[in-house]
Amino acid sequence: MAEYADREHYIPVRVTDLIDYLASDAGPAGGQPLTPDDQTRFRRFARAVTLHIHALYHAELRQLEDSYASFDPDGDPKPLKKLDPGASAAAQKELFGTFTHLMGRANYTHLSRPELEVVMAGASDWGIDMDIPWGAFDQVEVFVRGKGMSKRFKRNWRNRFRLEEVRVPTFNRVAVIFKQRPHKRLGKEADTDSVFLKLFKDIPQMDIEMLLPGGRVKMPWFERVKLGGSLSSTVGYVGWKLSAANLGGLAAALFAGSTAALLALYAPVALVLGYGYKTWYSFQVSKQTYSLQLTQSLYYQNLDNNAGVMYRLLDEAEEQECRETLLSYFYLWRYAADRGWTAAELDDYVELDLERRLNMEVDFEIADALAKLERAGIVSKTGDRYRAVPLEAAQATLDQMWQQYPSRGIPASGGA
């Protein structure tokens, strides 16, 4: 069973398209298509699988809604009873734990604080390095999925400031969950009672800090050097002018209110203040320009907020579980025959087939899918080899499970 450090578990294909792809399977050589009857039976089985998984996730969605209700800044209506501090802390811990578990099932990677600081070091050509006030968060977690390259356009002085295309490494998806605490960076009106959820797409890897509130723009080293150099040179010039003058006579003239003495000092002092203000103002303009670009960019890169993030991610986790379940059963049923396959053999076959025919390089997560199929009774295990039960028997098992859902408190919206 191959393991890949550069591949993710996420399978980038819609469940509906995957069912069509499997039903039209014609074998490795292309000459063994499923019969029309087998296609019909497999499609019915696949529909039953998706309905069962949806029913289970619907129950989980209700639990998540209840956990988030007390922390939802957009909740309407609000809960009738407000949690006391002790209960709120326990509920917050449970919410963050549940969300982290959900992100794992949706095949997101959790970035720890040290990992975040490494990723956030510096800035891309479209960002400005920012200082994040970690003390402003009671708790904050960041999750990413998918590494890719996105197109950006910039003007380069080497190319006479014409627009040129540049490829920048990005995270395809970034999810953030955080709860704030009182902090001067957030202002007096900051909401410190709610838990905020944010979901973004195509974020440059080095600019992930721009998604967190309270960040303060760092002055680039070039601007620091320019400001420091300007001040040092002008202060040196003032010192030289003063050393060249008769300090005793100049002091006496200043004390007497001499206009000439004041004019003698005006030029170097104005030079110091002018250079300093010009550099500071230039940096402020850069900050404002970046803030505008950031607002315009995130307008299109923001996918969802707060409760909407939960619904979207739960749907992604549901789809991923459907993909893994259908792929595992299908290849066992279609190719493993009576001898069966080990988990490693099934894992390798699925990965190779997806890569060969769909050009998808994934690290198939086989263990969880096989465990679910075995518990459901539609895959059997002897020793280390797995076999799919016949399609008719698997369908009957799913139909029987469906009838048991109402007694287990799981809503069933329709038959399989």
Residues 119 and 204 in one domain: yes
Does any domain span residue 205? yes
What average pLDDT score do residues 110-139 get?
81
In sequence order, the 6+-apart residues with CB closer than 8 A to the CB of 91 are: 67, 70, 71, 83
Q: Count of domains in the chain?
A: 3
Is the same domain home to 204 and 233?
Answer: no
The pLDDT tens digits of the residues spanning 56-95 come to 888 888 888 888 999 999 988 888 888 898 999 999 999 9
Average pLDDT, rounded, for the chain: 81
Name the pLDDT band for 110 (thresholds 50, 70, 90): very high
- Which of 85, 96, 303 lies closest to 179, judged by CA? 96
Give yes or no: residues 328 and 387 share one domain.
yes
Query: 386 in helix, strand or coil?
Result: strand
**Among the ranges given (133-137, 141-145, 268-272, 359-363), the one the predictor scored with the smallest mean pLDDT:** 268-272
Bond before 268 cis per omega within 30 degrees? no
pLDDT category at 276 given cuts 50, 70, 90 is low
Non-local (6+) Cβ contacts of 165 within 8 A are 151, 152, 153
Tell me the per-residue pLDDT of 381-393, one tens digit each, with 9 for 90 and over.
999 999 999 999 9
Domain C-terminal end among 257, 287, 317: 287
DSSP string covering 199-265: EEEEEEGGGGGGGSTT-EEPPPHHHHHHHHHHHHHHHHHHHHHHHHS-HHHHHHHHHTT-HHHHHHH
User: What SS3 class is residue 342?
Assistant: strand
If asked whether residues 124 and 63 sit together in one domain, one would say no
**The predicted structure's pLDDT at residue 345:** 93
Q: CB under 8 Å to 317, separation ≥6 — which residues? A: 57, 102, 105, 106
Torsion of CA 403, 408, 412, 416, to 10 degrees: -30
Question: What pLDDT is attached to residue 414?
Answer: 41
Name the residue with higher pLDDT: 31 or 318: 318
Same-domain pairing of 166 and 187: yes
**pLDDT interval class at 215 (50, 70, 90):** confident
User: Which of the 8 DSSP states describes residue 407?
Assistant: G
Per-residue pLDDT band for 413 (boundaries 50, 70, 90) equals: very low
In a domain, residue 279? The reply is yes
What integer is the mean pLDDT of 263-286? Answer: 65
Same domain, 214 and 237: no
- Indicate whether 228 and 204 sit together in one domain: no
Residue range(s) defining the domain that contains residue 229: 221-287
- Asked if residue 98 is part of any domain, the answer here is no
DSSP string, 54-88: HHHHHHHHHHHHHHHTTT-TT-SSPPSSPPPHHHH
Which of 209 and 305 is assigned the larger pLDDT?
305
Same-domain status, 113 and 189 = yes
pLDDT category at 415 given cuts 50, 70, 90 is very low
- What's the whole-model pTM score? 0.76
